[in-house]
Amino acid sequence: MTAAEVPTASPWDRPGPLLNAWLSLPCAVSAEAMARQGFDCVTVDLQHGVTGYETGVAMLQALGGTGVIPVVRVPALDAAWIGRVLDAGALGVIVPLIETPAQAAALVAAVRYPPFGTRSYGPTRAALLHGEGYRDWSDRGVKCLAMIETRTGFGNRDAILATPGLDGVYVGPSDLTLGLTGRAHRPGLDRTEPGMEAAILAIRDSARAAGKLAGIQCADAGYARRMADEGFGLVTLGSDLRNMLRATAADVAAFRAGAERARSEAAPSVY
C-alpha cells in the first residue's frame, strides 16, 4: 500500500457499541478463533494474561484478516511497551492504573508521533499493514484508553478525560472495587452494589461530558448488554480463559449428573 492508498477512515469508525473479546492465553490459534465469533475488537492482555511480547505479535498476526480491531493492554504506563505493541500492529492500547492528568498526558505522548507526542518512529509491522502514510494515518487509526481503577484515578476522572489526544477511559471493575471499598466487597466484574454501580456510571457520565469513549470489562453477556444500553461505547465480554473454564465446568457437571442418573436408574429397588 502506497502513501496515496492509505485509507482516510479509521477502523474505529463503525457503529457502536463495540463488543470486545479478551485474550489471556498465549495462543495464536485461539486468538484467531475468538476473532471469528463476531466481535468488533479483540484485546491481547499483556498485563494479567500469560502472554509475552513475541507470542503477542503472533496473536496480532492471527487477528489480521478477521476484520476485528486489534488492541493490546500493556503491562504498565511505559513508552517502550506502548511503542512496541503499536509497531507490531495494534490499533489500540489500554493502559492500566492511570491516576493523574500527567500520567494521561504521558500515555498520549507515547502513542502519538511528534509534534503531538514523543513516539519514536519505527513502525515495523504497522508500516507493512498501513503503508508509508502510517505516521499521519495513525493519528486517527490508533486509539489510547486510560484505565480508571483506583480511588485517585476515579477522583481525577474529569481531569484525565480532559487530556488532549486521549480517546477515552476503560473501567477495571475489580481494582476499582478494591480502591473504593477496600475489603468491603470481593474484587470481581459485573458490580451490582449500589455504590459501585454509581461509581461506574459516574465514569461513563464524565466520558460522555468530555465526548470520549467509555469502556468496561464484563463477565456475563446480560451485564455487558446492560452496560452497552447504559451508554458504554466499548464492552468486553468475558475472556478466552473464563469462557473455556465456564463451558468446561458446565460440560463436566452435565456428564457427572448423567452418570449419577444412570447409576440411580440401574440400582435395584429395595421395595
Q: For 235-248, give the secondary structure using H, E and C.
A: EEECCHHHHHHHHH
The predicted pLDDT at position 7 comes to: 56
Confidence bin at 270 (pLDDT 50/70/90): low
- Active-site position among 27, 30, 48, 129: 48
C-alpha cell recorded at residue 252: 463436566
Distance separating alpha carbons of residues 113 and 123, to the nearest angstrom:
11
Please write the tens of the pLDDT for every residue from 182-200. 989 999 999 999 999 999 9
Q: Known catalytic residue: 48?
A: yes
For the question of whether the overall pTM of this predicted structure is more than 0.75, the answer is yes
Domains, the chain, ranges and CATH? 3-258 (3.20.20.60)
Looking at residue 43, what DSSP letter applies?
Answer: E
